[in-house]
Amino acid sequence: MRLLPLCRDPFQAPTDRDMLPSERREFVRTHRTCIFGYGRQSDGPAMSVVYYVPADNDDLLVATMGARAKAKAVARNGKISLCVLDETWPFSYLQVYCDAVIDDDGETLVDLMMAVAERMSGEPLGPELRPMVKALGEEEGRVLLRCRPYATFVTPPRHLQSNDQDEKLTHWVSASMPWDAPDKPDLP
């Protein structure tokens, strides 16, 4: 497994149609922030903004402190949602349903923390900083959450460019589909 590099040109969702399954996967692979959602023992779902890093095997990796509720929720019930955010206008998002586990691969955790720092700053960290990042991860009790997508849901964005548009603003519905769905269903 290899972490994918930071994408300088994230996929932009079409505004006139639903995303194809391959476009949904490309959207997830080329963005960097999401809302991490999970069921709580009581009250409604919990949500927090996190950086994630996609891997070449389609896993989505998140680093968090082991004492935080995200890690505890994954240990309790690995069903989570990631609402992947577009950071450009017109704003769009895509929800990814995942099975998540806590992974004890310490070297991948350090790789992930280095990659997150790049996503936060826009510049890669030099290899000389790896020991410091590793020590920080150990000090904070960081863990690696490995999220394996199994389905996506998206509602394409519709935006007004001004309040006096002549066109009728339209909306349509979408549906959840398997992560590995083909663009066109196989015909018999």
**Beta bridge partners of residue 65, listed in sequence order:** 142
1-33 per-position pLDDT tens digit = 999 999 999 999 887 778 899 999 999 999 999
**Regions of the chain where pLDDT drops below 70:** 156-172, 185-188
- pTM comes to 0.90
Instruction: State the DSSP H helix or E strand holding residue 151, giving kind and residue range, or none if neither.
Output: strand 142-153
Domains and CATH numbers, the chain: 21-158+166-178 (2.30.110.10)
Residue 147: name the closest of 74, 94, 41 by CA: 74
Tell me how far the alpha carbon of residue 91 is from its chain's centroid. Answer: 15
**Phi, psi (rounded to 5 degrees) for 122:** 85, 0
Within 42-93, residue ranges assigned H as helices are: 69-76
